[in-house]
Amino acid sequence: MQIQDLPYPDPGVPDARSGPRFLWWLGRNQLGGQFKALAWGLLHFVSVSAQPFCVGYAVEAAVDRSGSRLALAGGLMLLLGAAIAIGDTFLHRAAVTNWITAAARVQQLLARKAAHLGSALSRRVAAGEVVAVSTGDVERIGWFVEAVSRFTAAALTVVLVCVGLVVYQPALGIVVAVGLPVLALAVLPLLPRATRRADDQRAKAGRATELASDTVAGLRVLRGIGGEELFLDRYRRASQEVRHAAVRSARMWSLISAIQVLLPGLLIVVVVVYGVHLARTGSITIGELVAVYSSVMVLTYPLRHFEEIAMAYSFSRPAAQRAARVLSLQRATDTDGRRDADLPGGDLFDPETGLLAPASRLTAVVCGDPDAAGLLAERLGGHSWQDGPSPLLGGVPLDELPLHCARTAVLVQDKDPVLLSGSLRDLLDVPASGAVDAADALAAARCGDVLDALVQGSLEADDPMDARITERGRSLSGGQRQRLALARSLFTDPEVLVLDEPTSAVDSRTEARIAEGLRALRSGRTTVVFTSSPLLLDRADRVVLVHEGRVEAVGTHRELLDTEGRYRAVVTREADEDTALSGALKGLTHDEPRQIEETA
């Protein structure tokens, strides 16, 4: 896989049982790139490590005054220099390719999982964690996958050089062969503590990021109650904790780096002292001493990769664990489906509650509990059933349909829809049936004033469709965001549209006009609206009262007002008014209630 071939046609099925297993799976899926980087790495490191032997050979040639041997040493040095340059160039190229392709695979896997889980992802994993996994964690995972081949090449080079030194000069070679493993393994006792400190730093950074995002998201409300300084102080404390954790982690890694510098220096001292002693006794030549000394000096270069692989694994292991946790999440439904992908038509029925939404009708659902209404709306869209039976569309269980088919058939708009940043044209660039024009959808949702506001806010946009929408639509009011989201849903024109409180943030006059536009535009389509607004309920073909998870009454709005006390209490807010009145009466004297009744 080359960078120009990205994205992957199929990123594969990851082994998400644990972080290390996920890293191993990534490495196995890049064997071609890993072997390519290993080959170039061996060429580079072996060429670098072979230079000291050429230097020793040149010194001996100079001592013996042999011009031909000196010329041969120069030719070998030139050849090794070219090999070093070529190996380093293509090693870097292969390493970067491995890094980017591994990161791209993880990002594709995360995107695919997000698409499969839908709204369930944000309920099961914090949004800040998803962002952390798809940004910084992806880079750390790619770093480790890329570093494995370079570390392997460095380790093989160290082994080859040790063997070569033992053969070339046994007396000094044995000293180096014994000392180098000590150098490589000396930092192992410090790695667990360094890993714990790095994990603590990342955990504190994640909490600080989440706190910052929550503060920014609620800044308008915080300013309204004068609480922005309180939350800013909390973020300052959190950021200071991150700084202290980062300093503690840096101290440990600096200690590891210092050991990696100190121990090779001590080994060089031992080699020089012992080598000088051997040279004075005539056991070795000056050229051999120079070769061994230079080899030890050069070996500090591949030895650095032992520290790098330790750091890469320390940082990538928790990152891979977080990625594996997200990738291991599963839907409670059969996303592949056991039925044909043909879109079913007909009534929408929920066996769990007994709710029936007849085909081609506008059905309004009244729930006393707003949270229960939101859960029921998600159930009708096939997003949140767990142990209960699946909703049926035209007699076909939604969990037996392929996921893309079920989502095409039923669209759910929750009470807090998200508007992505971009132009209005981008907002409406969604899969749609093509039967509804964008202008008609915007008109039905009564977005005329919203378009005017967008044009005024975008001085360079003459066409409202080119007007810019800020992140999550923060420049718009709650009612304006709600109407744009409704227009997007109407433009999509699904077979079944489920709306959860689509007009809760608009005034009554606009709400009445939206109810008329919704009924007209969705004529002949199945529409379910969860609401307690009399303006919407009065225009519904059928009204259903759901109480404590079961359908209690069915009829028209006016019929239920006359016959159902619970329906009347929810719609007209009688229960709240009676509670307020009884609370006020409790605070009066014994004669005051009678006086109030007489006055009334």
According to the model, what pLDDT value does residue 590 have? 43
State how far the alpha carbon of 352 is from the alpha carbons of 89, 388, 389, 413, in Å. 64, 6, 6, 21
CA-to-CA distance for 501 and 184, rounded, in angstroms? 64
Phi and psi at 590, nearest 5°, equal: -65, -35
Of the candidate CATH numbers 3.50.50.60, 3.40.640.10, 3.40.50.2300, 3.40.50.300, the domain formed by 348-563 belongs to 3.40.50.300
Question: Look-up: residue for tokens 């480790």?
Answer: 144
State how far the alpha carbon of 585 is from the alpha carbons of 569, 573, 576, 589, 593, in Å. 20, 19, 14, 8, 7
Cα dihedral sign for 333, 337, 343, 346? negative
According to the model, what pLDDT value does residue 586 have? 41
Tell me the three state secondary structure of residue 444: helix
| Model pTM score | 0.67
State how far the alpha carbon of 442 is from the alpha carbons of 448, 480, 494, 500, in Å. 7, 11, 16, 18
Between CA 73 and CA 82, with CA 76 as vertex, the angle to 5 degrees is 145
- As given in the structure block, the two tokens for residue 53 are 């032997």
CA-to-CA distance for 278 and 172, rounded, in angstroms? 9
Tell me the three state secondary structure of residue 411: strand
Per-residue pLDDT tens over the stretch 147-190: 999 999 988 988 888 888 888 888 888 888 888 788 777 777 88
**Which stretches of the chain score pLDDT less than 70?**
1, 119-120, 122-123, 125-129, 131-132, 213-228, 331-344, 383-388, 459, 461, 472, 574-600
Pairing between strand 348-350 and 392-393?
Answer: antiparallel
106 in Cβ contact with 324 (< 8 Å) = no
Tell me the three state secondary structure of residue 436: coil
Bridge partners, 528 (sequence order)? 363, 498
270 in Cβ contact with 278 (< 8 Å) = no
Q: DSSP code of 8? A: P
Burial tier of 229 (Cβ tally within 10 Å: 0-12, 13-18, 19+): exposed
CA gyration radius for the chain? 35
Measure CA of the first residue to CA of the last residue in the chain; give whole Å.
Answer: 83
- As given in the structure block, the two tokens for residue 481 are 């965001």
According to the model, what pLDDT value does residue 472 have? 67
**464 CB contacts (<8 Å, ≥6 apart)?**
424, 451, 452, 454, 455
DSSP calls for 467-488? -EE-GGGTTS-HHHHHHHHHHH
Element (H, E) at 380: helix 370-380
Bridge partners, 407 (sequence order)? none
DSSP calls for 523-581? TTSEEEEE---HHHHTT-SEEEEEETTEEEEEE-HHHHHHH-HHHHHHHH-HHHHHHHH
- As given in the structure block, the two tokens for residue 431 are 């899969």
Query: Pick from 461, 595, 474, 486: which is nearest to 536 by CA?
Result: 486
485 in Cβ contact with 415 (< 8 Å) = no
The full set of domain ranges for the chain reads 7-327, 348-563
Tell me the residue ranges of DSSP E strands in 103-149: none
According to the model, what pLDDT value does residue 485 have? 92
According to the model, what pLDDT value does residue 222 have? 59
Query: Pick from 188, 237, 198, 234: which is nearest to 215 by CA?
Result: 234
Tell me the three state secondary structure of residue 172: helix
CA-to-CA distance for 140 and 137, rounded, in angstroms? 5
212 in Cβ contact with 235 (< 8 Å) = yes
Bridge partners, 550 (sequence order)? 547
According to the model, what pLDDT value does residue 279 have? 83
Per-residue pLDDT tens over the stretch 330-380: 765 544 555 554 566 789 999 989 999 999 999 999 998 888 888 888 888
According to the model, what pLDDT value does residue 483 have? 92
Question: Look-up: residue for tokens 């159930």?
Answer: 379
Tell me the three state secondary structure of residue 79: helix
What's the CA dihedral at 351, 355, 356, 357 to 10 degrees? Answer: -130
What topology does CATH give the domain 7-327? ABC transporter transmembrane region fold (1.20.1560)
